[in-house]
Amino acid sequence: MDAIFRQVLLVGAVMSLGAGFRTPNFVVQASSAEFAKQVGEAAEIYRRELAIEWTGKPLPGDWERPCPITVTVGNMGAGGATTFSFQNGEVYGWKMTIQGSEQRILDSVLPHEINHTIFASYFRRPLPRWADEGAASLIEHDSERNRLRDIHSRAIGNRRKIPLKSLLEIRNYPQDKQDVLTLYAEGHSLADYLIQNSSKPQYLKLLKLAHDKGWESALKSLYHYSSIDALEKEWDQWVMAGSIKLNLPEGSQVADRGAAARPETTIRGQSPDGTLKLGSPVDLDSEADLPGSEPRMMADNAPPQQRSRSSLQEPLLTISELTSNAAKPTQNQ
């Protein structure tokens, strides 16, 4: 009861400052009413569509208490953090802060943070860091994903790589900032590899089964790996080959690991239409990957229930493209 009361006070405090907009599941505070409305509408789109992407259906109803979103717009590194609590199989106490340019907030930071709330609502327990952040990073810009791939490749080359058996069990951020970057990069890569070899729902099944039966048993049952070491060997080979896109024919996902033939592969290319597909990366012009750009920054040693991300690239997707299909929420008075 005390936690719910604090949440009510928090929502009231957020709404009392500046321009606000309320939807069934979010209370947005931003510098302008127009952008608060755009963020709120986009948040509801992502909440619905990302849940469908991962689970095949929307979340079951609205949250009991809306999630406050505090938005800071400016010429700064884009990033965000989401906090929540688990107790007796319930998740509550949502709080989200996001910052960056308007477009970067809408097409990268916001969906990343919303993805954490989808996973929290679905699993209702803390997840290994790599699994939660890795899945959320799949929604980011292609330029950011390329940067994560580069960090991972360099980690393998200079022996900073986190061994897979250790990575699978990490639930808190490492103390060393470079190790935090490596954790994010490996999480992104492993999530990408597993999902390309199966599907997003299969990835969720893996996380559930591993929690109940252990990683060795789950990987053998769902992905047919004889051991964690077998997965790590195959995964490392894929990374060193450039993390090439796997074109798996229909029905061939999670193929027998003992088969000699490998799936036909093509190099990852840019999307021809440049529009956002929810749950997939946004492709950017090559200018976003110019040398000299600042590295990705992560929260250092964040609490177990906090999820954060940050990136520094500029987006291409327009706000109108993102929110054109939004259902009309109830505006905050």
DSSP code of residue 259? -
- The pLDDT, as a whole number, for residue 243 is 87
263 and 196 in a common domain: yes
Judge contact between 265 and 306, C-beta under 8 A: no
Q: Decide if pLDDT at 45 tops 80.
A: yes
249 and 210 in a common domain: yes
Q: Decide if pLDDT at 46 tops 90.
A: yes
**Whole-number average pLDDT of the chain:** 76
Q: Is 257 helix (H, G, I), strand (E, B) or coil?
A: coil
pTM exceeds cut of 0.95:
no
Rounded CA-CA distance 105/119 in Å is 20
pLDDT tens per residue, range 199-241: 999 999 999 999 999 999 999 999 999 999 999 999 999 988 8
Tell which wins on pLDDT, 150 or 287.
150
Asked which of 103-107, 217-221, 228-232, 273-277 is least confident by mean pLDDT, the reply is 273-277
169: tokens are 């069990």
pLDDT confidence bin for 280, thresholds 50/70/90: very low
278 and 147 in a common domain: yes
- The pLDDT, as a whole number, for residue 206 is 98
Averaged over 180-189, what is the pLDDT?
A: 93
Q: Decide if pLDDT at 143 tops 70.
A: yes
Asked which of 208-222, 243-257, 276-290 is least confident by mean pLDDT, the reply is 276-290
Judge contact between 193 and 238, C-beta under 8 A: yes
93 and 8 in a common domain: yes
224 and 118 in a common domain: no
Other C-beta atoms within 10 Å of 54: how many? Answer: 19
Phi (first) and psi of residue 310, to 5 degrees: -160, 145
pLDDT confidence bin for 66, thresholds 50/70/90: very high
Domain residues for the domain of 196 are 127-296
- The pLDDT, as a whole number, for residue 18 is 55
- The pLDDT, as a whole number, for residue 6 is 52
122 and 141 in a common domain: no
pLDDT confidence bin for 275, thresholds 50/70/90: very low
41 and 57 in a common domain: yes
Number of domains in the chain: 2
**Across the chain, where does the E strand assignment appear?**
19-22, 26-30, 67-73, 78-87, 90-100, 245-246, 265-266, 307-311
121 and 256 in a common domain: no
- The pLDDT, as a whole number, for residue 250 is 47
